[in-house]
Structure formats: structure tokens, C-alpha cells
Structure 1
Amino acid sequence: MNHTTSGKMTNEVLSTIMNHRSIRKFKDERLPREQVETIVRAAQMAASSSFMQAYSIIGLTDPTLKRELRDITRTPYVEENGHLFIFCADLQRLTVMADEQEKQDMKVMLESSMAYQIAIVDATLAAQNAVLAAESLGLGTVIMGAVKKDIVRLDQMLGLPEYVTSLFGIAVGVPDQQPELKPRLPLEAVYFENRYATDEEQQELIAAYDRDINEYYWTRSENNRMDNWSRKHIEKLTKKISLSGMTEYVQSKGMNVN
């Protein structure tokens, strides 16, 4: 039931959302099949553009495959978790019931940036539902983009057909840590009314946020460091890293071509 606390409306769903934190250490307990299916069914209830449901979820349970993915990502929680879900953009399913002529007629739209964007958004909405469902069951989660560090190898591991690409993973399990909540950007830095904020308006807000984030990093119980939000991402986005391969991979799957 909704109730007011300190002027704010709260309920169990909001409490779960507002207490989200990424968990990177799990107890050695596998999720029962019932919980896995509940999480997937919750993911399926997310909104979907034109009801395309243009995503698939692959549960990675084979210890050999999980070990191989750990080698790719260099993150232990990829292997050590209760269950690992890989979310994929999936336009292939839309073609299954089409005849050969219809498949040819669908090709331009299937290979468009618009269709790929739809698939990414559908998968992301489903993933957020999955995270919320898992955390409502008392489980911990972490969303991982690192599974794409060798995206071609992952594609081969999962046997993905044309018009299907992997996007990210979600590790779920019984938490074996309780990290502090990480402060988010001020509401005024992400929510504007009627027009986008000016740089000057943003700079003041972000400067204050940088101070809050630096204090968070310095005082948290694990992995203390001096850092702030803006400097971290400026340095990340100015690094000369190789971006080759991702576009070629996606287009080789017949997606985001035009």
C-alpha cells in the first residue's frame, strides 16, 4: 500500500528501485528453475515497440562456457553467480514464419538502423524488468557490458544466427556483499522542462555532484579511491582505444546496415 514518508510517496516497488546497487560477489548458490522462469516472465512483460518483442535471453549454465566468458571479460562474477543471462537483439524471430519472397521483402527494414534501435530498446526494457524482478526476490544483480569484449567469440559460443547480436549480460544471485548506494546525478541535471539546460546550468550541478561522488569513492567500504564523475568519463572518452570490429560485427549479422 502507498504511504507518505517525509513527504515522499513510497511502496515496495519504489523501495526496491531506490535501493538498487550492483552486486559483484555472490554466494555459491544456483538459482532454482522457478526463480529463473519468474525473472524471464517478468522481463517479457516489459513494453515493446509495436509488440515486436525483438530480443532473446540466453541463460548461460554450462561451466565450460562460463569459464571461457570469464577469460574474455576478466571478471570473476561472470562465472561465480546464481545464474547468468545474456540479452540479445533479435530480429531473426520475425522472419521465421515468412516465405522466401517475404523474407526478401523484409530485408531492407530488417537491416535498417530503426529496426536495430527497436531491438536494443526492447531488450533494454526487458532487462530492467528482469533486474527489478530479481531484486524483489531478494537477489542481487549486475549488468555487464564486458561480455562484448570479444563479441565475435561470444557470438560463436552462443551459436547466434543472422539478425541476432549479443548486447549485455546480467549476473544474478544471492548477494555476498552489501555495497553502499552510489549517488546519482541531481534530478535537475537529467530532468528538464520544455527546453534542454544550458552548459552553465549544468556545470554548477555537475561540480557539486563531482564533490559528492569523490566523497563516495573515498569513504566507501571497498576499492577506495580519489575520483569524480566528470573527470572519470572525460578520461575514458579521450583514450585512444580501438573501436574497430563492433560495427563490422553487427553489420555482418545483417543489422544496422542502412
Structure 2
Amino acid sequence: MNEMIEQLKRHRSIRKYKPDPLAEEQLRSIVESAQAASTSSNLQAYSVVAVTDRGTKAALSRLAADQAYIAECPVFLVWCADLNRLLIAASAASEGEARIPATTEMFILATVDAALAAQNAAIAAESLGLGIVFIGGIRDDPDGVSRLLGLPKYVYPVFGMCVGYPDQEPDLRPRLPLETVLHRERYSSDSFAAGIERYDGELRRFMLTRAGGKRDTTWSKEMAQRLAIRKRDHMRTFLREKGFDLE
């Protein structure tokens, strides 16, 4: 048995937390673990804002579709793609003022860096007996989040993360069959039909149990509903205003 692999496979999103605060050493260990994540060309193009103030968490909750667990968790981490620090460092080392390349690649690099660091943080938190849930809802009003947290140009909030001691024991949500995700040598969709059909049945049983028989759905139905809705069209304009021109 590999304890790390077993821990990873036990991951669950936690949406209810005990009021117990995190120790400063726990928070530092979580972020130090995030810093150990891989980063393209050593850019380290991300920052994280740790929010513990009740008022600020409540405000962030309102900006993210009133998700109550943001206000209730002991620490809310806002993971940001950050090119501002690179600009400051490069400008100090250059004869003239440095410039951030307005390319899609720079946007991708910073976003991926933030995601890799956050996943390391999630694993570290869970190893300490804590629970987490990622919050994409902060992109519902990224401008409001930016103003609240003082995020400058070239910094945008990618997602949030609630962290705290779990006050619930949710069941493990089933995932797609391995053969629909793992491809050998070349991409192939041959296994998709059978694998998705099997997964639809598994997820339907899970959702019926979780919701006490009140939610009868499948993965395919949920994905069809998701693809039928355009979400967060404001992000392109917001990112341009932040300096991520995506040329």
C-alpha cells in the first residue's frame, strides 16, 4: 500500500467546517508545499491571498454566488495568476522598464502555475487532517474580488479554496472509468460509449443516495445542461483590463 496514493484517492470536497482555526504553522506548511510545485521556467507566476477576516470572507461569499462555506471556513485562500511580480523583478534587472508579453502563452503559464501550486496545497492540507473545496465562483465577479483584495494589473483571481477541519463525512464521488481517460500511444474514443454508459449508472446511484432519492440525474445529462449554458462571458473583458490581452 502506498499511503500517498491512498490519500489522493480519498479526496472529497468539504463544504462544512468546524470553527477551529488553523495554526500559523499549518498555513505556512500548506503554502510552502504549494511553492514546491512544478513551475514553467521557474516563473512562479502565482500568488495566494489568505483570508481569515470574517467581514472579508462574508464579502467574498456574496461575490461568489452566496456560497456559505466561504464565510464559514477558517481560512479562504484566493489563488491568483500573477505576472506583476515578474514585471517588478524584470524591471529592476533591466536598463529600461520591462514589459509583459501580451500573449496567450503567458496567460496559460500563469494560470497553470497557480493551478499546480493550489493542488499541492490541497494535498498538503488533507495530509494534516484538513479538508478543502475549490471555489470557481469567485470568477462570477472577478472585478469585485480584485477590488476587495487589492489585486493590481497583471494579477487575476483564478479560483478560491476553503480550508478547515471537516464537519462532515461525504461519500466519495465516483469518477469516469480509467479506460475513458487513459489512452495508449494515441488518442482514441472507442471506449467512450461503454465507459460513459457505465459511469452514468454509477453516478445516478450516487446522486440518488446523496440526495435521498430527490436527484435523479446522470453525468451525460449534467454535461448536456452545462454545455447549453454560457457562463462568465465577462472574463475576456476583465482579463484584458488586467493586462492579459491574449494575443
Query: Is 2:246 the counterpart of 1:257?
Result: yes
Cα distance between partner residues in 2 of 1:78 and 1:87: 14
Query: Is 2:172 the counterpart of 1:160?
Result: no
- Kept after mapping to 1: 8 A contact 2:34/2:117: yes
SS of equivalent residue, structure 1 residue 88: strand
Per-residue Cα deviation, 1:119-170 (whole angstroms, up to 9, x for no partner): 1111101001000000000111101101111111001001111110000011
- Kept after mapping to 1: 8 A contact 2:107/2:246: no
Cα distance between partner residues in 2 of 1:223 and 1:70: 29
1:174 aligned residue? 165
Q: TM-score, normalised by structure 1?
A: 0.90
1:36 aligned residue? 27
- Kept after mapping to 1: 8 A contact 2:140/2:232: no
- Offset at 1:220? 2.5
- Offset at 1:221? 6.5
Cα distance between partner residues in 1 of 2:220 and 2:51: 35
Cα 1:103–1:226 change in 2 (3 A) is farther
Cα distance between partner residues in 2 of 1:61 and 1:148: 20
Query: Is 2:13 the counterpart of 1:19?
Result: no
Amino acid at match of 1:21: R
Mark the runs of 5 or more structure 1 residues left unpaired by the alignment. Answer: 1-9
Cα distance between partner residues in 2 of 1:243 and 1:114: 21
Aligned length: 244
- Offset at 1:213? 0.4
- Offset at 1:245? 1.4
Query: Is 2:198 the counterpart of 1:208?
Result: yes
Cα 1:222–1:168 change in 2 (3 A) is farther
Cα distance between partner residues in 2 of 1:142 and 1:242: 20
- Kept after mapping to 2: 8 A contact 1:179/1:221: no
Per-residue Cα deviation, 1:159-206 (whole angstroms, up to 9, x for no partner): 1111100000110101000000000101110110111113x5311110
1:236 aligned residue? 226
Cα distance between partner residues in 2 of 1:207 and 1:256: 41
Cα distance between partner residues in 1 of 2:246 and 2:182: 33
SS of equivalent residue, structure 1 residue 24: coil
Per-residue Cα deviation, 1:194-225 (whole angstroms, up to 9, x for no partner): 11113x53111101110110011111376851
1:5 aligned residue? none
Amino acid at match of 1:95: L
1:57 aligned residue? 48
Cα 1:35–1:13 change in 2 (3 A) is same
1:6 aligned residue? none
Query: Is 2:97 the counterpart of 1:103?
Result: yes
Cα 1:224–1:126 change in 2 (3 A) is farther
Counterpart selection for 2:78 from 67, 86, 94? 86
SS of equivalent residue, structure 1 residue 25: coil
SS of equivalent residue, structure 2 residue 116: helix
- Kept after mapping to 2: 8 A contact 1:88/1:167: yes
SS of equivalent residue, structure 2 residue 72: coil
Cα distance between partner residues in 1 of 2:172 and 2:232: 32
- Kept after mapping to 2: 8 A contact 1:189/1:202: yes
SS of equivalent residue, structure 2 residue 188: coil
- Offset at 1:76? 0.7
2:136 aligned residue? 145
Measured on the aligned residues, the alpha-carbon RMSD in Å equals 1.6
Mark the runs of 5 or more structure 2 residues left unpaired by the alignment. Answer: none
